[in-house]
Structure 1
């Protein structure tokens, strides 16, 4: 599942896709049927990327994308407006090691609601671009290895430039010196 660019905005219902940024704020597109675009202020907006959200766990935090993947595998996900006890029982099935004291019923309702928004979108069935990131890391490692070689060659060309610059300065001094003397 590819949650890159999908954000939750505090004070705005639903989920949004981060389209871009301008000098006054973030440009967001809602993920509902209306596909409305809006701009939220950079200084006051609190955005949370779904790819970065974690849920409190007993031993360690649980990633939201892992919980959503388990919900997808489960198949029979209750509605967000279902009874709180039913939602809690369902959440124990998909995230058995979540911290019961720190994860509130409202959090579970929000996660289930997000699942129902995302399940019909094509990005929910897309693979995460890990292969591209790993390939990018390998390329950056290769360029780091080649970088010292590239740094040496400009140093060789820098010496003639410095000599040329020095000769230009001396020529400028000669011109000014020549015009001062009659």
Structure 2
């Protein structure tokens, strides 16, 4: 899943894709069917990049992208964002069992599920992120290097070369 360039705008519902930037702010395109373009003033609106959002947990914070990947791999039915808060909390506890129940509010869970339902309808849902591509390349490079090392014949020891000495005649 590639969420690079996706942002949430304070006071605006839904998610937006960052298209560009001008002097006064950012140019965004909505991820819904209308694909409306919007210019957001940097001084009056707050943008939150989905890549930078984390969820509080008992250990380290969990990246939103990892939560989305877990939901994507989930085998059961995913509740709608309008479900009862107890149902949403039970679902989220199943998905992210170590989340901090005091710091992660029901509204946060609702927002995450709503964002996931928006993203799953876009081509970005099945697109591989740059980070995952780099990781795949690194794994492939390691595998190739291991093959090369295994196939490389061990060099036979060559006898030490005799030092030439100059004779004074």
Unaligned runs of at least 5 residues, structure 2: 138-169
Shift of 1:133: 8.9
Shift of 1:132: 5.2
CA distance in 2, matches of 1:132, 1:45: 33
CA distance in 2, matches of 1:24, 1:133: 36
TM-score norm. by structure 2 comes to 0.76
The alignment status of 1:74 with 2:74, answered yes or no, reads yes
Shift of 1:59: 1.2
Identify the residue that residue 102 of structure 2 maps to in structure 1: 101
TM-score norm. by structure 1 comes to 0.71
Identify the residue that residue 45 of structure 1 maps to in structure 2: 45
Q: How does 1:91-170 map to 2 (within 5 A)?
A: 91-130=92-131, 131=133
Unaligned runs of at least 5 residues, structure 1: 136-182
Identify the residue that residue 59 of structure 2 maps to in structure 1: 59
CA distance in 1, matches of 2:83, 2:16: 24
**Deviation string, structure 1 residues 107-165 (Cα, Å, up to 9, x no partner):** 00000000100011111111111245998xxxxxxxxxxxxxxxxxxxxxxxxxxxxxx
- Runs of 4+ in structure 1 off by over 3 angstroms are 131-135
Give the number of the structure whose residues are more often helix, by fraction: 1
CA distance in 1, matches of 2:136, 2:25: 31
Structure with higher Rg: it is: 1
The alignment status of 1:13 with 2:13, answered yes or no, reads yes
Shift of 1:36: 0.2
Identify the residue that residue 142 of structure 2 maps to in structure 1: none
